[in-house]
Amino acid sequence: MIELRLYLAQRISAAIMAPLVLVHLGVMIYAIQGGVSADEILARTRGSLLWGGFYGLFVIAVAVHAAIGLRNILSEWLHLRGLLLSGLCWFIGFALLAAGLRAVAAVVGS
Amino acid sequence: MPMPNSDHIKVKVWRGDAGGGSFAEFEVPQQPAQTVLDVVTWIQRHADSTLSYRFACRVGMCGSCAMMVNGIPRWTCRTHVNKVVQDNRLTVEPLRNLPVIKDLACDMSEFFDKWKRAEGQFSGTNTRAQAVAAISPAEPARRAANAAIECINCAICYAACDVVSWNPGYLGPAALNRAWSLQNDSRDRRHGERLRAISADGGCLSCHSQQGCASYCPNELNPTASIAGLKKMAASAFFRSR
């Protein structure tokens, strides 16, 4: 059953990421049309619950998606199994989550 | 590819057993409408009688003569030499992803064990005292079963599958294709057990949809599509059980 849960978690996280990436790219292209500096961008994102939630959700989806994907690769190519495989994937997931949330905090924190 | 201007083909044949082996070279006279199985048979009858290989029906029904021909898994009885020969050369090896017994004969045990692990046996709901179940050929489930049912278990898909080569525990395309045909058979009573078996580690969720199986299946079946159907079925069952 764990295989099915991991499979579904990876597909659901992909389905979450896809529209978020499109919105991210769309907003970025729209926002820089008139020329915009990093300070101006930060002035708009700091303190914004909307952008905090938007990128926070993206980071969570990335951490879930990438950790499960790497689990498959480590299992198939390096033949890792059991606790070592699970431990490595939890580590990768938490490392991505920590790095991503730190970046989100820098963009939306004051 | 046109037939080269030569009356002999240079054939490299893998000789050995589970402990290892190497290629032996033979020159085989070309014949019109010659198949790769004809070439292997010529070698065994005229050049080296110790060559081991497997065949039975010679007409593409039994699924026993599959081998790697110039690196691609093929049913040798239905593969004409002039379609696959390259620079007047052929290389014939035992099927990939299966242990070798001797020369070109593979041990098919794990292939059929996985068929059983995937609950490939039919378990009917009716007894022989009951009337034959009436199933409309137009029924969507019956059409899905029909699309998958012509498998001859030649193991070409199994040899073509990279996931099998990476994960020896993976059930493989043939066993999962069989499971899909039974999951769509309303007369079968083990749908739940089979769904659990094919959702476990090494089951349908391990497939990366690379479609090697569909590319090389000699009967033009599409096990990748069957496996995609099983994935959908497993996911639906999971959400329905919540």
Write down the pLDDT at residue B5: 47
Say whether A11 sits in a helix, a strand or coil: helix
Inter-chain residue contact A4 with B166, CB threshold 8 Å: no
Q: Helices marked H in B54-190 — which ranges?
A: 81-84, 109-117, 140-148, 156-160, 162-166, 173-183
* pLDDT band with cut points at 50, 70 and 90 for residue B242: confident
Going from the N-terminus, what domains does chain B have, and what CATH number goes with each? 8-106 (3.10.20.30), 109-240 (1.10.1060.10)
Judge contact between B156 and B189, C-beta under 8 A.
Answer: no
Return the pLDDT at B125: 87
pLDDT at B6 over 80: no
pLDDT bracket for residue B209 (50, 70, 90): very high
**In this predicted structure, which of A78-82, B49-53, B223-227 has the lowest mean pLDDT?**
A78-82
> In this predicted structure, what is the pLDDT of residue B129?
93
B114-136 average pLDDT score = 93
Please check the confidence at residue B232 and state whether its pLDDT lies above 50.
yes
Q: How many contiguous H segments (helices) and E segments (strands) does chain A have? A: 4, 0
C-alpha dihedral, B220 to B159 to B46 to B30, nearest 10°: 50
CATH number of the domain enclosing A91: 1.20.1300
Number of domains in chain A: 1
Residue in this structure with the two tokens 């050049």, named with its chain if needed? B47
Q: How many CA atoms lie within 13 A of B27 on its CB side?
A: 3
Q: Which residues of B are less than 8 Å from A68 in CB distance?
A: none
Identify all chain B residues contacting A5, using CB atoms and an 8 Å cutoff: 238
pLDDT for the residue numbered A110: 72
Six-digit token pair at A81?
């199994």
Per-residue pLDDT band for A5 (boundaries 50, 70, 90) equals: very high
Mean pLDDT, residues B129-146:
94
pLDDT at A13 over 90: yes
| Chain B residue closest in CA terms to A11 | B235
Residue B179 has pLDDT above 60, yes or no: yes
B29 confidence band (pLDDT: 50, 70, 90): very high
Task: Output the pLDDT for position A38.
Answer: 86
pLDDT of residue A56 exceeding 90, the answer is yes
Q: What's the ipTM?
A: 0.84
What average pLDDT score do residues A62-84 get?
95
pLDDT exceeds cutoff 70 at B2: no
| A86 contacts chain B (CB < 8 A) | no
Using CA atoms, how far residue B46 sits from A3, B6, B29, B90, in Å, is 53, 19, 11, 17
* Domain housing A62: 2-108
Q: Give pLDDT, residue B1.
A: 46
Q: Which residues of B touch A (CB under 8 A)?
A: 163, 166-167, 199-201, 203, 205-206, 231, 234-235, 238
The stretch B121-145 carries a mean pLDDT of 92
Q: Are B91 and B69 in contact (CB under 8 A)?
A: yes
Q: What is the mean pLDDT of chain B?
A: 95
Rounded CA-CA distance B98/B114 in Å is: 12
Q: Would you say residue B4 has pLDDT above 80?
A: no
The whole-number pLDDT of residue B192 equals: 95
- Please tell me the predicted confidence (pLDDT) of residue B162: 97
A30 touches chain B (CB under 8 A): no
**pLDDT for res A78:** 95
Higher pLDDT, A42 or B180: B180
Shortest alpha-carbon distance between residue B235 and chain A (Å): 7
**What is the average per-residue pLDDT within B136-155?**
96
